[in-house]
Amino acid sequence: NNLINGGAFGFEGSLVCTVLATLFTLFIIWWFEQ
């Protein structure tokens, strides 16, 4: 039962990827504004 490509890949997988991409983008923006 994988969180990224488990049984409910359509919803949970896309949700996890969206959250990770958003956090990564915010981290990059914060890093370069230091």
| Both tokens assigned to 20 | 């990770």
Predicted local confidence at residue 8, as pLDDT: 55
Q: What is d(CA 18, CA 16) in angstroms, rounded to the nearest whole number?
A: 5
Predicted local confidence at residue 16, as pLDDT: 78
**3-17: b (≥16 Cβ within 10 Å) or e:** eeeeeeeeeebeeee
| Both tokens assigned to 27 | 């981290």
Predicted local confidence at residue 17, as pLDDT: 79
Predicted local confidence at residue 6, as pLDDT: 52
| Both tokens assigned to 30 | 């914060």
| Both tokens assigned to 32 | 């370069």
Q: What is the pLDDT of residues 1-34, one digit of tens each?
A: 455 555 555 666 677 778 888 999 999 999 999 9
